[in-house]
């Protein structure tokens, strides 16, 4: 999955990328910075529940920015400095989102025995 996020991670001003499921489980995590304390799965679950319904947002804090984007798997969270290009982040997210879909269940044997026309 890291290959999907390489372009974003290589951008100037990016501190990290997370993909968190709707249940709060970390699907992907790559941080360029050290955290003082690791958040627990319960922390992520509470965070995801609190942002439920948000499709896209750019949050600005004293120490940087967080870009959130909803996908079919969960939320894409990009941690960045103030000077990181928001337009490039959105463009790369638009490119990545179609690849972030849940795996479809196999049809089983029904597709194998289908009649050919």
Q: Is 117 domain-assigned?
A: no
Residue 20 lies in a domain: yes
Cα–Cα distances in Å, from 106 out to 32, 43, 44, 109?
A: 37, 33, 30, 9
Token pair 């990181």 in the structure block, residue: 84
Q: Is residue 113 part of a domain?
A: no
**CATH no. for residue 91?**
3.30.450.30
What phi and psi, each to the nearest 5 degrees, are found at residue 61?
Answer: -125, 175
Q: From first to last of the 117 residues of the chain, give the pLDDT tens digit.
A: 788 888 899 999 999 999 999 888 889 999 887 777 666 666 788 888 888 889 999 999 998 999 999 999 899 999 999 999 999 999 999 999 888 877 765 555 555 555 555
51 in any annotated domain: yes
Tell me if 110 is assigned to some domain. no
How many domains is the chain partitioned into structurally? 1
Instruction: Describe the strand order of the beta sheet including 56-61 as a list of residue ranges.
Output: 26-31, 14-21, 74-80, 64-70, 56-61
pLDDT of residue 40: 65
Strand partners, 38: none
Interior angle at CA 93, CA 89 and CA 95, nearest 5: 120
109: in domain: no
State which residues form the domain around 78.
2-102
CA–CA–CA angle 93, 99, 102 (5° rounding): 120
pTM: 0.79
Gap between the Cα atoms of 37 and 21, Å rounded: 21
Q: Establish if 107 belongs to a structural domain.
A: no
Q: Within a domain: residue 112?
A: no
């Amino acid at each position: 999955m890291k290959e999907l996020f390489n372009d974003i991670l290589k951008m100037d001003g990016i501190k990290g990328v997370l993909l968190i499921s709707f249940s709060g489980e970390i699907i992907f995590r790559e941080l360029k910075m050290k955290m003082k304390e690791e958040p627990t799965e319960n922390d992520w679950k509470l965070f995801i529940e609190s942002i439920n319904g948000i499709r896209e947002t750019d949050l600005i804090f004293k120490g940087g920015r967080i870009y959130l984007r909803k996908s079919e798997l969960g939320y894409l969270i990009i941690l960045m400095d103030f000077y990181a290009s928001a337009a490039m982040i959105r463009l790369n997210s638009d490119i990545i989102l179609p690849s972030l879909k849940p795996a479809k269940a196999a049809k089983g044997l029904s597709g194998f025995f289908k009649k050919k026309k």
